[in-house]
Amino acid sequence: MADRIVANGLWPRFRRQAAAMTALMVLALLILLVICGPLIWRIDPHFIDSDPVRMIGLRNQAPSLAHPLGTDQLGRDMLARLMLGGQVSLAVGLVAMLVALGIGTGIGLLAGYFRRLDGWLMRLTDIFLSLPVLPLMLVMMFLFRDALGRWIGPGAGSFALIVLAIGLTGWMPAARLVRAEVLSLRERDFIRAARAIGAPAPRILRHHILPNVWAPVLVAASLGISSAILTESMLSFLGFGFPPDMPTWGRLLHEGVGAMRSHPDRLVWPGLALTLTLLCVTYIGEGLRRALDPRQH
């Protein structure tokens, strides 16, 4: 089957690309660091010494053995905050990407396969593409934050809402990609054969089309992660993201701006982590695209 051929060839072809492989390793290292790091580096990222004298002594410390990245304006350990922030930012990126991809693939499949739905669904996609995303998200945050927070607690509520907001406003590119792919697939002989022997549409979609569109989906996914992380940073920067004591990379940047002149490192570390992640994800996406592109071989 076509999908097996692609899958079998994918890894060797991906592995041959030095940039993409480096990016994959760096990203793996970053993920390992933010997930396993806190198990080794056990300082509480929220810890503020309740003794005023000790707290003031701990503020704004330069990097040292006790605090490899120094401490912030309230004496909290920057390394611990950076790792916790990474967990949140990466989790938001991944989950929001899955949401966007789920919606986008679904709509793309339906629009590409069913002629009757195509016009309607693609106009819907156009409408979403033309909506100003940021104001829309701010309104969503504003309307639903309390309601969701009531159901599942303020922290989980914010997470669900941010992920949904990013997903609901980011599925359009995936939908267009998938539709284009499906349009070309549905006229291919193996699909016509399946239709000819009377296979129902859901079965054709699931067993014959979906496995063959995952190449563009994978590329869209990698790009979706980076835009989701950036959007979360933007929301945190505007004060609409997580509760104020949750240190995402975006919020760390936001806090760092005020101290830019005296402590530029506060801005540099979260900025570096964010940039590195986005760069890696983009290179991996590019690597996947090349590995999947038959013209390259």
Partner 1 sequence: MSAKSILPMLLRGTAAALILAPTAFVPAAHAARGSDGELRLLFNQAVSTLNVYLSSGTKDITAASLVLEPLAAYDPDGQLVPRLAAEIPSQKNGGIATDLTSITWKLKPGVQWSDGTPLTSEDVKFTYDYCRNPETGCAHAAKLDGVIAVETPDPQTVTFRFAAPMPYPFQPFTGATGPVLQKAQFAACLGKLAATCTAQNASPIGTGPFMVTDFKVNDVVTMAANPLYREAEKPAFATATIKGGGDALSSASAVLETGEFDYAWNTLINPEQQLQMEAGGKGRFVSAFGALVERIEVNLTDPAATLPEGERSTVKHPHPILSDVRVRKALSLAIARDVLVEIGYGAAGKPTCNMVAGPPHYVSDNTACLHQDLPAARALLEAAGWQDTDGDGIREKDGRKLSFLFQTTVNPVRQDFQALIKGWWNDIGVEVDLKAIDGSVFFSGDAGSPDTNEKFYADFEMYANEFDGTDPQAYLAARSCDKIPAPDRQWQGENIGRFCDPAYDAMVAELAKTANMAERAQLVKALNDRLTAGDQVVIPLIHRGRFSAISNTLGGVALSAWDSELWNVADWHRLPR
Point out which residues bind partner 1 (CB under 8 A): 46, 48, 50-53, 55-56, 59-60, 73-74, 142, 146, 149-150, 154, 238-240, 243-245, 255, 258-259, 261-262
How near is the Cβ of 112 to partner 1 at its closest, in Å? 41
How near is the Cβ of 219 to partner 1 at its closest, in Å? 36
**Contact of 30 with 249, CB cutoff 8 Å:** no
Q: Which residues of 195-224 are buried (b: 16+ CB within 10 A; e: fewer)?
A: eeeeeeeeebbeebbbebbbbbbbbbbbbb
Angle at which helices 210-237 and 133-152 cross, to 10°: 90
How near is the Cβ of 140 to partner 1 at its closest, in Å? 14
33, amino acid identity? L
Token duo for residue 46:
């929220």
What span, in angstroms and rounded, lies between the C-alpha atoms of 33 and 30? 5
Token duo for residue 180:
């284009």
**Contact of 167 with 205, CB cutoff 8 Å:** no
How near is the Cβ of 146 to partner 1 at its closest, in Å? 6
What span, in angstroms and rounded, lies between the C-alpha atoms of 109 and 183? 9
Q: Pick the closer one to partner 1 by CB: 6 or 238.
A: 238
Q: Pick the closer one to partner 1 by CB: 73 or 87.
A: 73
Q: Of 81, 80, 76, 43, give the one whose Cα is nearest residue 58.
A: 76
**Contact of 186 with 204, CB cutoff 8 Å:** no
Q: Pick the closer one to partner 1 by CB: 9 or 149.
A: 149
Q: Pick the closer one to partner 1 by CB: 130 or 262.
A: 262
How near is the Cβ of 38 to partner 1 at its closest, in Å? 19
How near is the Cβ of 169 to partner 1 at its closest, in Å? 19
Q: Pick the closer one to partner 1 by CB: 78 or 213.
A: 78
Q: Pick the closer one to partner 1 by CB: 126 or 245.
A: 245
